[in-house]
């Protein structure tokens, strides 16, 4: 389907662990009135166990996980349904995999300093991801590039401000869902 024919949008909320993906994605999905999905639920159990034990995932570990998320996105697009999904999508090659064949993908990168994000992880409880993996997340991170469709938000802002700015960026990009908010 060409960009002109495309009508649904899938917002992929990306960034390192603790950047606010879950917080922002939930709120964005609610404001847009669209379906929401959490990337952590697509990990095979061995990936979760690996992260829990303090070992970062590598490209090989992430491949089946990214393929499952891409399949979810394709399903929404085939049904012409819009949605929001969290996915760290740290590397450009991961994002290429997610957008290939999925014309409606629009990335929202939650970008911030190691200091701010590490403070937030220190305050988060009940999550399998250890804060000790944050350095490896930053080492893998390749920020959203200028030719990639989407928007980069500053995580030091309040969540409501990030959501408002993201909705404005979606609207500026001509995505119909944002007109309804
Ligand atoms: N913009 C924000 N301002 C302040 N705290 C935030 C913001 N976004 C997220 N948080 C808090 O930071 C922590 C990590 O956010 P979370 O949504 O779990 O990130 P991720 O899903 O990327 O790991 C949570 O405790 C959350 O409440
Ligand atoms: O690619 C990865 O290394 C993981 O997907 C990782 O980026 C993700 O962040 C974890 O699943 C932790 O979950 P949170 O991002 O929700 O902290």
114 within 8 A of 39, measured Cβ to Cβ: no
Report the alpha-carbon distance of residue 29 to residue 37 in Å, rounded.
Answer: 9
Give ipTM to 2 decimals: 0.94
User: What is the number of the ligand 1 atom nearest to the C-alpha of 25?
Assistant: 17
For ligand 2, atom 4: residue with the closest CA: 88
For ligand 1, atom 15: residue with the closest CA: 20
Q: Is 32 helix (H, G, I), strand (E, B) or coil?
A: helix
- In this predicted structure, what is the pLDDT of residue 6? 55
Rounded to two decimals, the pTM is 0.95
CA of 124 to the centre of ligand 1 (A): 8
| Residue 109 beta carbon below 6 angstroms from any ligand 1 atom | no
In the 8-state DSSP scheme, what is residue 174?
T
- In this predicted structure, what is the pLDDT of residue 46? 97
| Residue 102 beta carbon below 6 angstroms from any ligand 2 atom | no
For ligand 1, atom 24: residue with the closest CA: 124
Query: Which residues, 6 or more positions from 149, have their beta carbon under 8 angstroms from its beta carbon?
Result: 99, 105, 106, 107, 173
The ligand minimizing its distance to the Cα of 155 is 1
Supply the DSSP string of 10-45, one letter for each residue: EEEEE-STTSSHHHHHHHHHHHHT-EEE-GGGGS-H
| Residue 37 beta carbon below 6 angstroms from any ligand 1 atom | no
- In this predicted structure, what is the pLDDT of residue 9? 96
The ligand minimizing its distance to the Cα of 22 is 1
CA of 139 to the centre of ligand 1 (A): 20
Q: Look up residue 59 and give its two tokens.
A: 């490209």
- In this predicted structure, what is the pLDDT of residue 4? 37
pLDDT in tens, the chain (181 residues): 444 355 899 999 999 999 999 999 999 999 999 999 999 999 999 999 999 999 999 999 999 999 999 999 999 999 999 999 999 999 999 999 999 999 999 999 999 999 999 999 999 888 888 889 999 999 999 999 999 999 999 999 999 999 999 999 999 998 877 776 6
**CB atoms near residue 77 (< 10 Å):** 22
- In this predicted structure, what is the pLDDT of residue 176? 76
């Amino acid at each position: 389907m060409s960009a002109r024919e495309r009508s649904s949008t899938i917002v992929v909320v990306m960034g390192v662990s603790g950047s606010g993906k879950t917080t922002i994605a939930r709120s964005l999905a609610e404001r847009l009135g669209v379906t929401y999905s959490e990337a952590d639920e697509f990990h095979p159990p061995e990936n979760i166990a690996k992260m829990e034990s303090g070992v970062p995932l590598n490209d090989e570990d992430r491949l089946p996980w990214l393929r499952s998320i891409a399949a979810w996105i394709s399903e929404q697009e085939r049904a012409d349904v819009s949605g929001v999904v969290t996915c760290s999508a740290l590397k450009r090659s991961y994002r290429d995999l997610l957008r290939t064949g999925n014309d409606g993908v629009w990335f929202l990168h939650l970008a911030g300093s190691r200091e701010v994000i590490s403070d937030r992880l220190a305050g988060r409880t009940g999550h399998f991801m250890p804060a000790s993996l944050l350095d490896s997340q930053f080492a893998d991170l390749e920020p959203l590039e200028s030719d990639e469709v989407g928007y980069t938000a500053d995580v030091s802002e309040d969540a409501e401000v990030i959501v408002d700015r993201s909705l404005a960026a979606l609207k500026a990009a001509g995505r119909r869902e944002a007109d309804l908010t």
